[in-house]
Structure 1
Amino acid sequence: MSTPLPPIFHEWFSSRGWQIHPHQQAMLEHAAAPALLLVAPTGGGKTLAGFLPSLAELSNGEHEGLHTLYISPLKALAADIKRNLSTPIGEMGLPIRVEDRTGDTSATRKKCQRADPPHILLTTPESLALLTSYEDAPRMFAGLSRVIIDEIHALAESKRGDQLMLSLARLSTLAPRLRRVGLSATVDDPQAIGALMARHPDPVEILQADPGPAPDIAMLETETPPPWAGGGGRYAIPAVLEQVRQHRTTLIFHNTRAQAEIFFHHLWLANEEGLPIGIHHGSLSREQREKVEAAMVEGRLRAIVCTGSLDLGIDWGDVDLVIQVGAPKNVKRLVQRIGRANHRYNAPSKALLVPANRFEIIECQAALEAVREHDLDGAPRGAGPRDVLCQHILIAACVGPFWSDDLFAEMTTSGAYAGLSRDAFDACLDFCATGGYALRAYDRWQRLKQRPDGLWQLRDPRAAQRIRMNIGTIQDTDTLKVRLRNRGGGKPLGEVEEAFAASLTQGDTFLIGGQIVRYEGLREMTVEVTRHAAQKPKVAVFAGTKFASTTRLMDRILAMLQQPDWPDLPAHTRDWLRLQSELSHLPQRNRLLVESFPHDGREHVCVYGFAGKNAQQTLGLLLTRRMEDAGLHPLGFVSTDYATLIWGLEPLRDAAPLFARETLQEGLETWLAGNAVMKRTFRASATIAGLIERNMPSARKSGRQATFSSDILYDTLLKYEPDHLLMQITREEALRGLVDFGRIEEMIDRVEGRIDHIRLERVTPFAAPLLLEVGKVPVVGAGRERLVAEEAARLMEAAGIGAADPGSLA
């Protein structure tokens, strides 16, 4: 059944010289669908399309209470949508109340919203999960008719999305006729997103809007070719400034916050004309971000250096150019960023890519081709994580007593948990009730109990407050506030990582918010600074995701390397590839290239796995362990998305034994058992699952306190219950995320034992950039001991003590 658009809406469209777009009309015609996914280009009015049926249904003023729930990945996006909805509602005089509810909403306003909810509530996944935990949730959501999930692709790839889908399962229980709507401009597999979004096993209807004109996207031409290594893009600043001069507003995206800070600093130093340029990222203070956002909306900035904080669909003023500095690593992310330019229907977006180094030239070209062919990369999320499921059980208990059969049935209507077994559910329920075998003796982890009638409930009703305070799946990297020093508590500038702050001594300088500041001291968990005029600051290590290039993008690069003469690449890159093919080989998709050569008094091995940064890093750890066992005395390694370079004291004669799947798997298990990666992963999962509480009624734990308690728990479970539910979850999460062993297995399956080990006399063109990479990882083992022994022998001989056998000193 379609929803007709009242005449007042047609009059409003006409008054603005607009016509309703076909996909907006289609949303009205399919308004009754239980699940509906709209894929429409940025600037195509997809958000209005999502709201039109709700506005039409509410225009007669007959609905009381909450009608539509809008879910956004960003607080700022919810606030922006509220502003944009207020215009048509006000101009048409519609009897519709719209409010937003995020972490920035006052406690008083939140309480009023539960007692008297608006017709349309704009919120985030975390705020929704919190709303479903209250005893009055059944009353608040009883009349809910539609839920709109904006930028659904950004949620579908994370635990935030898993939590959201469990919340939607709860809403469908409270409001059985609830309709679900998903909106996105960048979906690689609409059916998969639809299945995740819909109530299992309900079908999903997919509407594809006209994609509009292809984006105008190219590589930025620079006088200076990119450097051999690095990721900052400083070489391109003159060319970037020239583009800023030629356009009204330019967004300059970076993959990390630290790179954005460095680039902004040097861009400002080169900005002799004083063009108004700002910086925006998640580690800056809210006041500073809002100041930049306001200036953007008003058109007062010519350029904004930014990160993922501006990825999503906020309409920030008149942006007519996007520049991506550094390879995008992910085609969907690139398309999303491109869409920030010319945020208008049927207007092509204009974007330029700036490769940060020689290898990234090839990756940027591969990404360009993928965008032109609409080949969006993406990986299936797999089964829903169980730490999120544990949190959802605790949220359900906050509402009141529940039947486990009913909760299990509800959870399995969520796409990610449709395959959840009853045994797996019961294990999570037992964990929530007792903490598990090794912890059941401690009262603090006995949170649920089963009544004689079979219902489950909180053991102590007061625990609901603590559970609510810890709802969410976003794991903050431990950060400290940065403020300018003065007597009354100075202006907030942002945040830096706790580990970075601990490394500072008085007088050190670093960048934050585009300005250089001097560290003065730590006071009440706040980093106090003063402004400083240094030219070369110490750079803050900001929190933020460090992306790994996707499998599909790596496959494109490998295919491109096999092209004859590489016509689409710059001349200097073609010469580089030609020299590599003459002196060694070019990597191929179905073969593994391994080079070994002497350089600077060390033996080097370079493995071109093209498996992404995390997997290549893990490969370095595993291969050096194997080389240590084989007596090759490795000393260290460094990894990029494309390759791993290892150096040591003995030459590699046969590479094949290093890559036996069983050997690598065995090495992984041994390495994981006592590694810091596991403890870090355990801490994150234990916090989500509710075993560790970061927020408490009295105060928030510091990062060190939380790490200390999680380390003790991890060591206890490893010793007494290694198969504990949280230990199982930790291993799954480590393999999927930080370690990414699955991509190593994909690489091994891809090459099927076809390994080209080439022994050379000197470093190769492809290996040379890795010698300059930062992030080298030392290997502590027999090789280092041998170096110490040899040096001791030389010192003794120089001192006239006499020759010594180096081996006897090891």
Structure 2
Amino acid sequence: MTALSPELPKQISNWFTDQGWSLHPHQRDMLARSGAPAQLLIAPTGAGKTMAGFLPTLAELADGGHNGLHTLYISPLKALAADIKRNLETPVAGMGLPIRIEDRTGDTPNSRKRRQRADPPHILLTTPESLALLMSYEDAPRIFQGLQRVVVDEIHALAESKRGDQLMLALSRLSALCPDLRRVGLSATVDDPAAIARYLAPTGCAVLHADAGPAPDITMLHTDEAPPWSGSGAAYAIPAVLEHVKQHKTTLIFHNTRAQAEVFFHNLWLANDDALPIGIHHGSLDRAQREKVEAAMVAGQLRAVVCTGSLDLGIDWGNVDLVIQIGAPKNVKRLVQRIGRANHRYNAPSKAILVPANRFEVIECLAALEAVQDGDLDGDPRPTGPRDVLCQHILLCACSGPFEADALYAEVTQAGPYADLTRADFDACLTFCATGGYALRAYDKWQRLQQRPDGQWQLRDPRSAALIRQNVGTIQDTDTLKVKMRGRHGAPLGEIEEGFAASLTPGDTFLIGGQIVRYEALREMVVQVSRDKGRRPKVATFMGTKFATSTQLSQRILHLLNQPDWPALPAHTADWLHLQRQMSELPRPSTLLIESFPHDGLAHTCIYGFAGRNAQQTLGLLATRRMEEMGLAPLGFVATDQATLIWGLEELRDPAPLFDLTTLEDGLEGWLSSNALMKRTFRSVATIAGLIQRNIQGQRKSGRQATFSSDILYDTLHRYDPDHLLLQITREEALSGLIDFARLRDLVARVQGRISHRHLDRITPLAAPLLLEVGKVRIDGEGRERLLREETAKLMQDAGLAEI
């Protein structure tokens, strides 16, 4: 057994010895370098990275000489904070250490929150939102006095969202309060360690790598029945998945969306003849139901859990010995994170099975398998810190007391995402927070900050601090309604999107929490339901991220397609690709393949861009707009991660005009100016920046109310102040988010005008599945009018009225 570090206090060293454990090399390294200003530890799941992060804290608190808060632990998930608290309390109690550990999240009772402010524990486990809220109080300097360390867990996940940007701003403020504060980042999956290190600490951060351990045992499911041509449910694989569940202790069955998880769980349960205990877990379910599933997992009472990204991160369930990913993973880094949930132990290989939901996903799953084996994690460059988050941060700083603009700017630029923030951009955010901007400065409600004679900025009305705090956070769950069983004391089930709820009429059924419920009524913004097992349910829609295949994985797929043969693919998929090669050709990395063919009396064009679903959707919108101008009368389109299929009345002869970058950008500008997407994006930006309040005196506005308010504001600013800060941010968000125009630019740059346009007499094997895709977009233009005129003429002729 490896000797324990001499810096480890005796009671901790004795406890490890009593357990028969020794420190791993990376844990000793973290302990030895505990005085460093910033450290990033990259260690595989099960390697004890959380203990590595906390060991210096336990060592420093072992003598009981520290009063007040010593270490902050930040987690992206409330459930993870609770899990870490549970796992940390056991060794602390066994070591006999005088350490108080508490968590603070949105689920923490207000009475405990008040006590924590008055008497902080030694270790506080929290989330970015709760930390931002805690720092907005006037007594924040007292609460955090003596703070020594901050441990940021799963930092890769936070770095991909605005929650991480908010956290980094909070850490800069903490460092101003506590100049000797040390930062620690922990992660199992980092594609660019240097970039994450700069994100955590721009002035310098040491990067430590743990032994990567054995390669994961990961395979793709092969079934006698071939996957369907389209769809994402993988219903064909239910019998095989059940067999694997029976053969293992506990299985996590991951899905990419909450709706898919609900449908799969329902079908799995119907096929579960052995009544195996199986649960479901996703972010739209009621908290009590999620906690019930988590408790059952901790107790080893479940054989399987159907889940989504809510269980992506490091909750330690030792009984999990298999992970099943339903549907193509879309992102290699996310797949590696999910695989790590199985065999959560050091030097034990994780076991995982990929289940392609359709024929093309067989290819994507093989590409993902090869990427995992090569250790090739995908990731995009970090964008600069979003200014709507900065606006919220400025308002929260004002809640804690007056501030100097120069000092706050200097503090903000110490945060990794905002290291390159210009003073002009900072001043624009400050001006917005103070006045609302040029078009809104006449309205009293947006005059929130004022400058004092001494130059410091403060809240114009101290009472507004409560409203600002009520709306803290960057997570946008704007359009959801609670779902409860009907009755005075009906059990809460979770929440669904408001738009889906609006489509329901009494008697309609839908799935939530794995059970079929019947819609009864909408009362006080709550969807009331009753149980109903008799009919086929609708598929509810839930708030949640819909992933697009990453750029790196798309490139792997293209290279895989261009192999001379595919021995690693099942025969049904390899035969399909051989047939495509015979009838047309396969897409290539440096050439854009476009196929034109007649089908069902219409001219079809299939564009194989491999740019991800959002970019392919945008391409469909822009290409049909240009085709309308060219007189080709498009009628509609559908997009996947790989291709866009367009149908209309006239055949496309020359595709080059569709891919002129200037034309695409001009079309985008025209489309954006009148598109509802911009208003939806604006609502999110305006809510985060504090222009729109969703919560007022404990009451939450409905999605429709918030939409009405934001639409009026958007139209007003668009007309009278088109250069308003929030409109600038909205355009940036739209381009990088749902539109993903950057990937269209990359596509145009990649092919550099090299287009292979195949004119064919029939639909091709690769294009055929697109006809079965859901989400077809109708184009109302000249094509529809021509069809209407032709139908009218035919009806008149049939009625003998053609000459009248």
TM-score, normalising length: structure 1 = 0.98
3-state DSSP class of the match of 2:320? coil
Q: Deviations over 1:274-333 (max 9, x none)?
A: 111111111111111111111111111111111111111001240000000000001111
Show the counterpart of 2:165.
162
Superposition pairs of residues 747-786 of structure 1, within 5 angstroms? 747-786=747-786
Letter in 2 for 1:657: P
Show the counterpart of 2:354.
353
1:746 equivalent to 2:749? Answer no
Separation in 2, partners of 1:336, 1:588:
30
Is contact 2:318–2:343 with CA below 8 Å preserved after alignment? no
Letter in 2 for 1:732: E
Show the counterpart of 2:722.
722
Show the counterpart of 2:537.
537
Is contact 2:318–2:345 with CA below 8 Å preserved after alignment? no
Separation in 2, partners of 1:579, 1:649:
27
1:174 equivalent to 2:177? Answer yes
Separation in 1, partners of 2:698, 2:574:
62
Separation in 2, partners of 1:493, 1:158:
27
3-state DSSP class of the match of 2:222? coil
Separation in 2, partners of 1:169, 1:792:
68
3-state DSSP class of the match of 1:356? coil
Show the counterpart of 1:28.
31
Give how far 1:187 is off.
0.5
Q: Deviations over 1:70-129 (max 9, x none)?
A: 000001111111111111111111011111000011111111111111110000000000
Show the counterpart of 1:807.
none
Is contact 1:39–1:185 with CA below 8 Å preserved after alignment? yes
Show the counterpart of 2:20.
17
Superposition pairs of residues 297-696 of structure 1, within 5 angstroms? 297-486=298-487, 488-696=488-696
Give how far 1:167 is off.
0.3
- Residues 30/547 of structure 1: CA separation in 2 closer, same or farther (3 Å cut): same
Is contact 1:793–1:803 with CA below 8 Å preserved after alignment? no
- Residues 492/317 of structure 1: CA separation in 2 closer, same or farther (3 Å cut): farther
Show the counterpart of 2:733.
733
Is contact 1:332–1:377 with CA below 8 Å preserved after alignment? yes
Give how far 1:477 is off.
3.7
Letter in 2 for 1:336: Q
3-state DSSP class of the match of 2:219? strand
Give how far 1:535 is off.
4.4
Is contact 2:213–2:348 with CA below 8 Å preserved after alignment? yes
Show the counterpart of 1:788.
788
Is contact 2:128–2:166 with CA below 8 Å preserved after alignment? yes
3-state DSSP class of the match of 1:483? strand
Separation in 1, partners of 2:774, 2:489:
37
Show the counterpart of 1:205.
206
Give how far 1:698 is off.
5.1
Separation in 2, partners of 1:203, 1:415:
11
The aligned length equals 800
1:126 equivalent to 2:129? Answer yes
Show the counterpart of 1:711.
711
TM-score, normalising length: structure 2 = 0.99
Separation in 1, partners of 2:551, 2:533:
44
3-state DSSP class of the match of 1:687? helix
Q: Between 79-88 and 658-667, report the one with greater CA deviation.
A: 79-88
Identity %: 72
Q: Deviations over 1:438-495 (max 9, x none)?
A: 0000010010111121111111111111111111000004111111112x23111111
Separation in 1, partners of 2:366, 2:595:
25
Separation in 1, partners of 2:394, 2:379:
30
Give how far 1:3 is off.
8.7
Separation in 2, partners of 1:260, 1:7:
48
1:68 equivalent to 2:35? Answer no
Is contact 1:3–1:28 with CA below 8 Å preserved after alignment? no
Instruction: Identify unmatched segments of 5+ residues in structure 2.
Output: none
Letter in 2 for 1:635: L
Give the alignment's Cα RMSD to 1 decimal: 1.0
Is contact 1:509–1:534 with CA below 8 Å preserved after alignment? no
Is contact 2:509–2:535 with CA below 8 Å preserved after alignment? no
Separation in 2, partners of 1:31, 1:394:
34
Is contact 2:594–2:608 with CA below 8 Å preserved after alignment? yes
Give how far 1:527 is off.
1.0
Q: Deviations over 1:753-784 (max 9, x none)?
A: 10111110000111000000000010111111
Q: Deviations over 1:241-299 (max 9, x none)?
A: 11011111111000001101111111111111111111111111111111111111111
Separation in 2, partners of 1:614, 1:477:
21
Separation in 2, partners of 1:533, 1:455:
63
Q: Between 327-336 and 4-13, report the one with greater CA deviation.
A: 4-13
Give how far 1:534 is off.
2.2
Separation in 1, partners of 2:281, 2:114:
32
3-state DSSP class of the match of 2:586? coil
Separation in 2, partners of 1:385, 1:719:
24
Q: Which runs of 4+ in 1 moved over 4 A?
A: none
Show the counterpart of 1:249.
250
Q: Deviations over 1:134-167 (max 9, x none)?
A: 1011111121100000000110000000000000
Letter in 2 for 1:598: P
Letter in 1 for 2:665: Q
Is contact 1:482–1:496 with CA below 8 Å preserved after alignment? yes
1:188 equivalent to 2:182? Answer no
1:44 equivalent to 2:75? Answer no
Is contact 1:496–1:542 with CA below 8 Å preserved after alignment? yes
Give how far 1:346 is off.
0.5
